[in-house]
Amino acid sequence: MQVKVCDLEGKVVGLLFGANWYPPCRVFTQVLVGIYEDLKSRFPQFEIVYVSSDEDLDAFSSFYGNMPWLAIPFSDLETKKWLTRKYEVEGIPCLILLQPEDGKDEGTVRDGVELVYRYGAEAYPFCNERLEQLRKEDKVKRENQTLVNLLSNQHRDYVLSHTHSGLKQVPVASLVGKTIALYFSAEWCVPCAKFTPKLISVYEKIKQELAEKGEEDFEVVLVSSDRDRASFESYYSSMPWLALPFGDSETKNLVRHFNVQGIPWLVIIGPDGKTITVHGRSLINLYQENAYPFTNAKVEELEKQLEEEAKDLPALVYHEGHRHDLNLVSDGNGGGPFICCVCDEQGSSWAYQCLQCGYEVHPKCVRTVERQNSVLITN
């Protein structure tokens, strides 16, 4: 049915830019539906309007059929283009939040996707005053952060561990003083299925090295996003570390506290209970077990090692399958963060890059053989 635009006057309105063909849009829409229904039951003056980038009417109808809010008609291309230009939308999903009677756009919030993932319904009415209040609360929480108040609550002061007879409770207090990795993951997540075996290998190597020194200063805790207990138990059974109980109330609090926007996500907590980094996954991909204990000093040391190793790398290689020369680049001369086209994992600093098409690989992901003025590499 049709709803008059004037009926939206006086409401807080979210403009959702998205498309059915892009998986992050489908994931975010599922999250937003729950928050929308919660807010609408308490605040009727809230509304969302879908601005579609779907490829055809059937795709739009299918995707919009799962949405409980309003939409710009699929055929109204001019309005959709105008809104995209006006709010400078450069990627999807994108959620622009408009305040009532805000003709000058001073109260327009453009990072609605991040706010929904971080704060959920608590961000309402999405005005600058409310967001500033939430940020101040976050700052206080970070300053007062300890491992105990992160992982326990008034109903539970333990995490789970494997035993031969089943799961047992491990007091959170026994983990204080250790470096703890919080692993946000789920069985249904395809990237998690690839990263988890790598993390298990790194975990076991770090534990072995510490055991040889008579130390037990590192642990991983699974923070599961599995949708049912059977999936959680199946997934966790493959892991050698600890876990929060399935469906624990602290899971949502941790997701918000660390602004987790996708999985797998690895947060490193230091022995003092403070956050070392939320980019543990990248450090594992780049440096494997050598990344431990994940501190800034350790990362700087590893980066210096890479700089030294790069001095011995050929400046130009030829990729037999890619059929183009690849140039050695770094952050300072055309390089930067990238996804390796061989192992599909993140890289930074040094890489071999095709200047014609952007193909990039880790130096460690190639094997070299002699070839006249350059080096031939094969996967």
Count of CB atoms situated within 10 Å of the CB of 129: 8
Q: Which of 96, 87, 89, 88 is nearest to 16 (CA)?
A: 96
Residues 6+ apart with CB under 8 A from 181: 218, 219, 220, 221, 266, 267, 268, 269, 280
Maximum separation of any 2 CA atoms in the chain, in Å: 72
Average pLDDT for residues 10-25, to the nearest whole number? 94
Classify residue 17 as exposed, middle or buried by CB count within 10 Å of its CB (0-12, 13-18, 19+).
Answer: buried
Which of the given ranges, 48-52, 288-292, 325-329, has the highest pLDDT on average?
48-52
Q: Which residues of 256-287 are buried (b: 16+ CB within 10 A; e: fewer)?
A: bbbebeebbbbbbbbbebeebbbbbbbbbbbb
Q: Which pLDDT score, from 0 to 100, does residue 325 have?
A: 80
Residue that wins the pLDDT comparison between 10 and 104: 10
Q: Which pLDDT score, from 0 to 100, does residue 342 have?
A: 73
- Report the alpha-carbon angle 187-192-194, nearest 5: 115
Confidence at 161, pLDDT banded by 50, 70, 90: very high
Whether the predicted model's global pTM rises above the 0.75 cut: no
Give percent above pLDDT 90 in the chain: 60
Q: Which pLDDT score, from 0 to 100, does residue 370 have?
A: 37
Confidence at 166, pLDDT banded by 50, 70, 90: confident
Average pLDDT for residues 64-73, to the nearest whole number? 96
Residue 333 has pLDDT above 70, yes or no: no
Residue 377 has pLDDT above 80, yes or no: no
Classify residue 14 as exposed, middle or buried by CB count within 10 Å of its CB (0-12, 13-18, 19+).
Answer: buried
Instruction: Report the C-alpha gap between 171 and 351 in whole angstroms.
Output: 44
The answer to whether 354 and 325 are in contact (CB under 8 A) is: yes
Q: Which pLDDT score, from 0 to 100, does residue 369 have?
A: 38
The answer to whether 50 and 44 are in contact (CB under 8 A) is: no
Domains along the sequence of the chain with CATH: 5-141 (3.40.30.10), 147-300 (3.40.30.10), 313-365 (no CATH)
Residue 337 has pLDDT above 80, yes or no: no
